[in-house]
Amino acid sequence: MRTMTEEKHTISLLVDNQPGVLSRIAGMFSGRGYNIESLCVAATMDPLVSRITLVTTGDQLIIEQINKQLNKLVNVIKVHDLTETDFVERETALVKVRARPGHKAEILRLVDIFKCKVVDTNTTHYTIEVTGTVEKLSAFLNLLKPMGIKEIARTGSIALSRNNK
Amino acid sequence: MKITGAQILMAIFKEERVDTVFGMTGGAAIDIFDELARTNIQHIMVRHEQGAVHAADGYARAKRSVGVCIVTSGPGATNTVSGLASAYMDSIPVVVFTAQVPTNLIGNDAFQEVDIVGITRPCTKHNYLVRSIEDLARTVKEAFYVARSGRPGPVLVDIPKDIIQGKTAYKPLRAPSLKSYNPTYKPNMKQVKKAINLIREARKPVIFAGGGVILSGASRELAEFARRLNAPVTASLMGLGAFPGTDELWLGMPGMHGTYRANMSIGSCDLLIGIGVRFDDRVTGKIDTFAPHAKIIHIDIDPTSIRKNIPVAVPIVGDCKIALGELKKLMDEEALIIDPYKNKPWLDQIEEWKSTNPLSYEQMDIIKPQYVIERLYDMTNGQAIITTEVGQNQMWAAQYYHFDQPNSFITSGGLGCMGFGFPAAIGAQVASQDKLVVDIAGDGSIQMNIQEMATAVQYSLPVKIVILNNKYLGMVRQWQQLFYEKRYASTSIDEAPDFVKLAESYGAVGLRATRPQEVVPVLKEGLSTPKPVIMDFWVDREECVYPMVPAGAPMTEMLLV
Ligand SMILES: Cc1ncc(C[n+]2csc(CCOP(=O)(O)OP(=O)(O)O)c2C)c(N)n1
Ligand SMILES: [Mg+2]
């Protein structure tokens, strides 16, 4: 019965902007043994409401439970599993990469191709800002890897449905 | 006019028709109790805060309302955790108020400060830390609303001392409505229609009721439904009493210590209608062998209960009573009549299972625990409110006391929390003064909250305790006998108090039976004594609860004796 294939789901939540709400959500995931791959919280236009975008994985039944369990939390206003719909998803990363003399041109060429920005530089490193889909980010990071990535900071995915409702 | 936080609390208690609170005072809570003493609300002062929450739980079930507790900060608050967890697992509406250190000290590791909201987040339906006196009234109103609505459950409200003492204007608030919390009561009619199609086709239906039927007050609707379908009924531990235990269609409880016929019926039915149940592992056993031939209709108010453990053909999210009402309406509209002979071969088969392996024991020269419960059942005409502790005593109570009424069986079902039964009996007795309330106890469990005997004596609550004394942590010993080659590691509890003297030392009455012929006289005397009584029955030490399905095995593979 149970389909064991793991799927990745991006879920968008509107929640009460109150202390403790994030820990309720995180606690639900850890207490029930579900995964959080990334989680991003910020205010919305309504100061009483925050939006959380989270990416999780699980088989079909687990994803169904995650959606229901999130809905059950008293502080969660709305749960939208975007994976079921048409949506746009972006992530931003800051990448500090070694800029050896022999690699500088190649790095800048990649920055150009991937439409990124060098936001900081010193004698030994470039810090690059890259935004895109998760696939674009991994492709970019894979290409930079041989040059020597010193540090990465990623925002985690944020996403919105393409519908107007 | 401005009033204090404590006064606001009392005002809302009045609005919510709270007539009793269970609690224990302390430095942070002193102002609440000071104010409480000026009202006509009864305070049952317990001797341990765990007892307060279990008592509020028993009270909530016996009274079909919300149970209320008030405790102090720090250790008072942490002592409520087992009570909250038990009420949470069993979906019982309880509101616990914990006093907290003053707002300006929170986070400073102040004396008797704990983050009780953090600690109880996963074992409450919801909880609150009140951050300003302006929020107090709304929060308390909301707490009662959340506790009793939807799938009920415990709610904790943590109130810092400066807010309890502070003053603000108070105006009664309207009933809360939350945009983030909106339980579904009315089922989707498309699903109801699908359910009826399955019912029409079924040849071997079984109805499986749970605590949800009791919580929604749907016993009458359930009985009508069962009769109309001419379908046998089983009920989980939490559902006992939802359907009369003396009815012809009654199968007994299913699961690990369920009846042979209940487990066999689930194993061969073609339609299983789960109503207000959550298909707990103690009922399903090995999950992929559970009800292998059945299509399942599952009615529950909590969407997370549905398809959590088992696949379901027709999920119906809604209140049990309303959903059964809608099913009836639609069956009437479609003039659905179940031919009474259609299920006959099925009911005949069940009759045969019933007679081949009924629950049984043999009363010889040592008292059998089952015998005590059977006599208790007879002598109380099945009319007592029974609470239980946890272990063998709980299972024998479930098997041998036949519950005809909802809320007459009060047990820690989901958590299985030893020490529950006695304080729960106190709460039930407060809620129903004119009823006989009996805690069926084990010699181990009773020691976990025995201090509440002082409470029972203080408030003249004539609860009866029937100890099935096997001088063992019996249920665990049973597992050791059956699955650990009789290595009784850490289960013998020979070193116990003399329960008769113990009762007497509290100012209660203690009685003992050591031989079978003493059972009836002791019950007779104990049940008719208008005081708290401990009846200590020395039972066969190595008696086991049968049938038994080993954990994780298919439910039809029962050990029968
Ligand atoms: C608070 C708590 N601690 C431990 C357990 C594990 N446990 C389950 S049954 C049991 C034995 C109970 O002994 P007793 O009350 O004498 O009941 P009996 O099984 O002998 O009837 C134990 C230790 C539990 N359920 N609850
Ligand atoms: Mg025992």
3-state secondary structure of B35: helix
Integer Cα distance of A22 and A73 in angstroms? 11
Q: Could you say which residues of chain A have pLDDT below 50?
A: 1
Helical spans, DSSP H, in B202-259: 211-215, 219-229
**In this structure, are B271 and B221 located in the same domain?**
yes
Out of B48, B84, B473, give the residue to mutate to test ligand 1, the one with the largest number of ligand atoms within 8 Å of its CB. B473
pLDDT at A3: 55
In chain B, positions 136-165, which contact chain A (CB-CB < 8 Å)? Answer: 146
Reported as type and span, the H/E element at residue A158 is strand A158-161
Interface touch A72/B303, C-beta < 8 Å: yes
> pTM above 0.90?
yes
Asked if A44 has any chain B CB less than 8 Å from its own CB, the reply is: no
pLDDT at B538: 98
Integer Cα distance of A62 and B392 in angstroms? 35
Asked if A146 has any chain B CB less than 8 Å from its own CB, the reply is: no
B361 within a domain of the structure (yes/no): no
Give the model confidence (pLDDT) of B221-249 as tens digits.
999 999 999 999 999 999 999 999 999 99
Q: End of a domain among A84, A107, A131?
A: A84
Number of the ligand 1 atom closest to the C-alpha atom of B369: 21
Asked if B291 has any chain A CB less than 8 Å from its own CB, the reply is: no
**In this structure, are A105 and A121 located in the same domain?**
yes
Give me the CATH number covering residue A35: 3.30.70.260
**In this structure, are A103 and A70 located in the same domain?**
no
**In this structure, are B291 and B145 located in the same domain?**
no
Answer yes or no: are the C-beta atoms of B340 and B205 closer than 8 Å: no
Q: Is B442 in the pocket of ligand 1 (CB under 6 A)?
A: yes
Q: Is B85 in the pocket of ligand 1 (CB under 6 A)?
A: no
Give the number of domains in chain A. 2
Q: End of a domain among A84, A111, A131?
A: A84
A116 within a domain of the structure (yes/no): yes
Asked if A67 has any chain B CB less than 8 Å from its own CB, the reply is: no
Label residue A33 left, alpha or beta by phi (over 0 means left) and psi (-120 to 50 means alpha).
Answer: left
**In this structure, are A80 and A93 located in the same domain?**
no
Interface test with B, best of A60, A67, A74, A80 (most B CBs within 10 A): A74
A18 within a domain of the structure (yes/no): yes
Ligand 2: distance of its center to the CA of B538 in Å? 10
pLDDT at B218: 98
Give the number of domains in chain B. 3
**In this structure, are A79 and A115 located in the same domain?**
no
Q: What is the SS3 string spanning B351-376?
A: HHHHHHCCCCCCCCCCECHHHHHHHH
**In this structure, are A72 and A32 located in the same domain?**
yes
Give me the CATH number covering residue B220: 3.40.50.1220
Integer Cα distance of B400 and B360 in angstroms? 10
Helical spans, DSSP H, in chain A: 21-31, 60-72, 104-113, 134-144
Chain B residues close to A66, C-beta within 8 Å: none
**In this structure, are A79 and A95 located in the same domain?**
no
Tokens in use for A97? 């990469």
Give me the CATH number covering residue A97: 3.30.70.1150
Give the model confidence (pLDDT) of B303-334 as tens digits.
999 999 999 999 999 999 999 999 999 999 99
Tally the C-alpha atoms within 13 A of residue B503's C-alpha that lie toward its C-beta. 21
Ligand 2: distance of its center to the CA of B250 in Å? 29
Give the model confidence (pLDDT) of B102-115 as tens digits.
999 999 999 999 99
Chain A residues close to B146, C-beta within 8 Å: 74
Integer Cα distance of B345 and B333 in angstroms? 28
Cβ-Cβ contacts under 8 Å between A and B: the total is 36
Give me the CATH number covering residue B84: 3.40.50.970
Interface touch A68/B303, C-beta < 8 Å: yes
Residues 6+ apart with CB under 8 A from B551: B256, B281, B285
pLDDT at B269: 98
Q: Which range marks the domain in which residue B85 is found?
A: 2-169
Asked if B302 has any chain A CB less than 8 Å from its own CB, the reply is: yes
**In this structure, are A11 and A79 located in the same domain?**
yes
Asked if B308 has any chain A CB less than 8 Å from its own CB, the reply is: yes
**Model ipTM?**
0.93
**In this structure, are B332 and B262 located in the same domain?**
yes
Residue B337: pLDDT band with limits 50, 70, 90: confident
Give the model confidence (pLDDT) of B155-170 as tens digits.
999 999 999 999 999 9
pLDDT at A1: 46
Ligand 2: distance of its center to the CA of B492 in Å? 9
For the annotated catalytic residues of B, the residue numbers are: 49, 111-112, 161, 475
Of B129, B180, B303, the CB nearest to A16: B180
Give the model confidence (pLDDT) of B47-79 as tens digits.
999 999 999 999 999 999 999 999 999 999 999
Ligand 2: distance of its center to the CA of B264 in Å? 30
Answer yes or no: are the C-beta atoms of A70 and A79 closer than 8 Å: yes
Q: Is B412 in the pocket of ligand 1 (CB under 6 A)?
A: no
Q: Which range marks the domain in which residue A143 is found?
A: 89-155
Chain A residues close to B121, C-beta within 8 Å: 20, 23-24, 27
pLDDT at B315: 98
pLDDT at A165: 64
Interface touch A20/B311, C-beta < 8 Å: no
Of B129, B180, B302, the CB nearest to A75: B180
Tokens in use for A20? 């403790």
Interface touch A76/B118, C-beta < 8 Å: no
| Ligand nearest to the Cα of B441, by number | 1
With a cut of 50, say whether residue B265 has pLDDT above it: yes
pLDDT at A84: 84
Nearby residues for ligand 2 (ion, Cβ within 5 Å): B 442-444, 470, 472, 474
Number of the ligand 1 atom closest to the C-alpha atom of B446: 15
Interface test with A, best of B119, B132, B304 (most A CBs within 10 A): B304
